[in-house]
Structure 1
Amino acid sequence: MSTPARPDVAPPEPWAFPAPAEHRLSNGMRALVYRLPGQHVASTRIALPSLLSGEPRSREGVASIVSRTMDEGTRSHTGEELAELFERNGIGLGAGVTEQGLVVEVEATTARLGRALELTTECLGEPVFDGTEVRRHVRQRLSEIDHERAGAASRAALEWARTFYTDDSRGSRPTAGARDTVEPIESADCASYHRSWVRPEGGTVVVAGDVDDAAVVDELERTIGAWDAEPASTATDLADARDVRDPQSQRIVFVDRPGSVQTEMYVGTLGPNRRAEGGWAAYPALSFVLGGSPGARVDALLREEKGYTYGMRTVFRPRRHDGVFVAAGSVRGDVTAESLELLVGVLESAAEGFTQEETRSAIDYIGMTAPARYATADAVADEAVRLRLDGLGTGFVTDYLQQVRDLTPERLQEAWAAVVGSWTTVLVGDAEQHADAVRALGLGEVTVIA
């Protein structure tokens, strides 16, 4: 009996990000509608360019408190009534702030989309910022701050930002505010920030799901498109405000945790934004090759060969005007100095070049997993709103995936050469036990802080 021949497996066809139907609403907001058959829970995202640099210096964190309390009572409904309406209609609403703006996230079945948009518009346009609710969320944020300082990974990230940027840069301080700026926030502060910055001007609404374009636009015009706001007297154009790297940031800060059996490492430098010269495609590929999988260079050495870590990751994080590259993870405390030396060695030696096999592995991973990464309405909406806040459309994804397919080892080497060097390092662990060994490496000045 003959065995049938195996069929040839052809490479997958190039994949493109879904194209939206674009509209301009009556209040000037841009609307992007992604029709995704079979996605019966519609994901809506509203992006408003409410810049963190618009917060008063003494009330940093107020933007986050505003985002958390807009649905805690409006002129039309109390907080309890709103909660009941959201629950009765199966609507999920959340909001948060980033460097680039405020994002409201709404999930609802397509049948309840109109009601979800009505309630969302109400929360955006007429929140009352009840004093009791504001104080409750302030207390929650203060508790978060304690947790952030207690966790080694979050503590390292906070200290790294404070070390990397100048004191005048908003990026040097926590997005949701620090204890001394959050604690005094009151209802009036929230109302003032909302009046100045939570506005339809420059905003975008994204709807993704199994929806009819014309019907969605009608609903948007009836709700979000009818949202208006009085001209702001205090808002200023802060779009060009830039975070500046501290000239003294090429150093090592060791946050002392006496008795810690692990050391959290956070090593990084300046990176590109999505408009990088030569294209963005090389940077996700570099992240994958250097620290994006157990077989990547960092883990291959520190985890698989040495057994010093459960895993370390590298990532490029694009920002408004620039970006950062970070390698982060925890290692055994007794090998702190050796691990840091090996990690920096891997990063710096990568400037010598990349192999064809590494490049092909990155191309395949990024390109072949894209359809799965963007298979749901919420993933499509999230990507669309992130790019809109950055002034880009989702055609950017399709274009960069095409660029990924054309990557070469030479292009990766060129892109990495523009990044490597000038490291800012934060370690969180037992400084008394390990700081001297780190100093002996000669990688830079070592400062120990409590």
Structure 2
Amino acid sequence: MDFHPQPQGGLPKPWAFPAPDRGRLGNGLTVLRCHRPGQQVVAVEVSLPAPLDAEPDGLDGVATIMARALSEGTDKYDAEEFADELERCGASLDAYADHPAVRVSLEVPASRLTKALGLLADALRAPAFPESEIERLVGNRLDEIPHELANPARRAAKELAKELYPAASRMSRPRQGTEETVSRIDVAAVRAFYDAHVRPATATAVVVGDLDGVDLDTALAETLGTWTGSTAQPRPAPPITADDTGRVVIVDRPGAVQTQLLLGRIGPDRHDRVWPAQVLGTYCLGGTLTSRLDRVLREEKGYTYGVRAFGQVLRSTPEGTGAALLAVSGSVATDVTGPALADLWQVLRTLAADGLTDDERDVAVQNLVGVAPLRYETAAAVADTLADQVEQHLPDEFQGELYARLAQTGTVEATAAAVNAFPADRLVTILVGDADQIADSVRELGIGEVKVVAGG
């Protein structure tokens, strides 16, 4: 019997992260466009410099409510009509608020881009903010909060922020507000925040997709180009400070069968030249199932389904300063919390002496750089990364250059960056679990003062 020859893999095609074309509309809106042949679903990301730090005292969460309310009616459509118009375009519109900015995201087939841009422009230009919808959104947000507090990972993140940042800093409080602050939000507060911070002169729109046959200049001029507003500059961002003195906080959850772990501190962000090595070293430490932490805690000891180390950019300034949250997270069975933490600390403490291996470095480079073309297959992924660069005040070519620098980073550099990122004596450790069962074994580790707080 003759069989058809087995297919063989071909040579990989050259790939680079796409560089956008930058321009500006007459109303001051900055536009980044990126033509991606074959991407018939166009992604649009609009970054609005309305940071959480700008929320008025006692109104934490107003940026989130405003972002969610942008699609709840305009001067042309009520909430249901606006949703119907989006559906007729085959479009989706989402918005959220984070520390650097409010982000509005649109995805739509290229053939209906102009119509969808018009709806996006209406949402930004003249949101209705109807009282009934604001009340509904506030109620929805209040309903979400108990569920977040019941989630061990979310509860750990909330406690880490409270411990790490000064009490007066907005970063120390929940991003979407608390029950107390959200319950105070009304139409007047949402409108005031919108009027103070949403304007085209400080905003950036990123458009990515197959733009063949699309007169994008005309489409933008007739839609987002009609948006007007003041020319005031964005609010200056205060510096990020944190206290990473080694200590442990146990959020008590009596009867919990697992302990959620979250260890963190702040470190360099993408403006620092150590960033590529830090990304590589962090990935080797805990970026995937084959990383060092997983190899010890999961494969050798069976303590966990997985432990991850990561770096998350918090906020950057136009001057090129900022910080990233460097953290290790995972969960373990309650009865092995002490041994699991002991082994985790052993990995961190011996990293400098043992060093990463060339094999670990090579696997990390392949996973970070080699699969990048798959990560950016969709227009939305490219648009999201470009918008991140805008909010972090990075050059348009940053992501493309980052992959080249990752490929050039050696094992010694990656080891040094990982050691500096996760010093064993400078990590705030949050444990969400049964304090009666885990507190004594944690104190025996000697990794810092141990404090127990209520789990509510």
TM tier relative to shorter chain: over 0.9
Residue pairs, 1:205-220, within 5 angstroms: 205-212=205-212, 215-220=215-220
Paired residues of 1:383 and 1:394 also in contact (CA < 8 A): no
Paired residues of 1:51 and 1:239 also in contact (CA < 8 A): no
Task: Tell me by how many angstroms 1:339 deviates.
Answer: 0.8
* TM-score (structure 1 length as normaliser): 0.94
Task: Tell me by how many angstroms 1:144 deviates.
Answer: 1.4
Q: Bigger CA drift: 351-360 or 330-339? A: 351-360
Distance 1:193 1:309 in 2: 44
Matched, 1:257 2:261: no
Amino acid at match of 2:376: Y
Paired residues of 2:199 and 2:231 also in contact (CA < 8 A): no
Deviation string, structure 1 residues 139-164 (Cα, Å, up to 9, x no partner): 11111111110011110111111111
Match of 1:267 in 2: 263
Distance 1:184 1:20 in 2: 42
Amino acid at match of 1:160: L
Match of 2:391 in 1: 389
Amino acid at match of 1:432: D
Q: Bigger CA drift: 413-422 or 174-183? A: 413-422
Q: Bigger CA drift: 410-419 or 172-181? A: 410-419
Paired residues of 2:35 and 2:209 also in contact (CA < 8 A): yes
Task: Tell me by how many angstroms 1:197 deviates.
Answer: 0.7
Match of 1:300 in 2: 295
Residue pairs, 1:32-431, within 5 angstroms: 32-212=32-212, 215-230=215-230, 237-246=234-243, 249-278=245-274, 280-320=275-315, 321-352=322-353, 353-421=355-423, 422-431=426-435
Paired residues of 1:312 and 1:327 also in contact (CA < 8 A): yes
Say which of 424, 448, 451 aligns to 1:447.
Answer: 451
Distance 1:349 1:335 in 2: 21
Amino acid at match of 2:270: R
Deviation string, structure 1 residues 7-53 (Cα, Å, up to 9, x no partner): 99897465311122221111111111111111111111111111111
SS in 2 for 1:142: helix
Distance 1:193 1:57 in 2: 12
Task: Tell me by how many angstroms 1:297 deviates.
Answer: 0.7
Paired residues of 1:348 and 1:420 also in contact (CA < 8 A): no
SS in 2 for 1:447: strand
Distance 1:263 1:203 in 2: 42
Distance 1:366 1:73 in 2: 41
Task: Tell me by how many angstroms 1:222 deviates.
Answer: 1.4
Task: Tell me by how many angstroms 1:258 deviates.
Answer: 0.5
Match of 2:318 in 1: none
Paired residues of 1:66 and 1:194 also in contact (CA < 8 A): yes
Task: Tell me by how many angstroms 1:105 deviates.
Answer: 0.4
Q: Percent of aligned pairs with the same residue?
A: 39
Match of 1:438 in 2: 442
Paired residues of 2:250 and 2:432 also in contact (CA < 8 A): yes
Task: Tell me by how many angstroms 1:347 deviates.
Answer: 2.1
Paired residues of 2:201 and 2:229 also in contact (CA < 8 A): no
Deviation string, structure 1 residues 304-340 (Cα, Å, up to 9, x no partner): 1111101111101122211111100100100111111
Task: Tell me by how many angstroms 1:6 deviates.
Answer: 11
Paired residues of 2:348 and 2:419 also in contact (CA < 8 A): no
Unaligned stretches of 5+ residues in structure 2 = 316-321
Q: Bigger CA drift: 282-291 or 310-319? A: 282-291
Distance 2:29 2:91 in 1: 23
Distance 1:336 1:222 in 2: 60
Distance 1:351 1:57 in 2: 44
Distance 1:73 1:363 in 2: 46
SS in 1 for 2:310: strand
Paired residues of 1:170 and 1:243 also in contact (CA < 8 A): no
Distance 1:141 1:448 in 2: 28
Paired residues of 1:384 and 1:393 also in contact (CA < 8 A): no
Amino acid at match of 2:442: V
Distance 1:221 1:258 in 2: 59
Amino acid at match of 1:271: G
SS in 1 for 2:218: helix
Task: Tell me by how many angstroms 1:416 deviates.
Answer: 2.3
Task: Tell me by how many angstroms 1:211 deviates.
Answer: 0.7
Paired residues of 1:33 and 1:213 also in contact (CA < 8 A): no
Paired residues of 1:35 and 1:213 also in contact (CA < 8 A): no
Distance 1:259 1:394 in 2: 50
* TM-score (structure 2 length as normaliser): 0.93
Pair 1:10–1:410, CA change in 2 (3 A): farther
Amino acid at match of 1:58: G
Pair 1:90–1:237, CA change in 2 (3 A): closer
Deviation string, structure 1 residues 350-388 (Cα, Å, up to 9, x no partner): 223211111111111111100100111111111111111
Deviation string, structure 1 residues 241-280 (Cα, Å, up to 9, x no partner): 1232136x531000000011100000112221101134x2
Deviation string, structure 1 residues 53-93 (Cα, Å, up to 9, x no partner): 11012101000000001111222211111111111221110
Paired residues of 2:201 and 2:231 also in contact (CA < 8 A): no
Task: Tell me by how many angstroms 1:290 deviates.
Answer: 0.8
Task: Tell me by how many angstroms 1:94 deviates.
Answer: 0.7
Distance 1:370 1:64 in 2: 31
Distance 1:143 1:87 in 2: 27
SS in 1 for 2:200: coil
Paired residues of 1:42 and 1:109 also in contact (CA < 8 A): yes
Distance 1:349 1:6 in 2: 47
Size of the aligned set, in residue pairs, is: 441
Amino acid at match of 1:208: V
Task: Tell me by how many angstroms 1:230 deviates.
Answer: 4.3
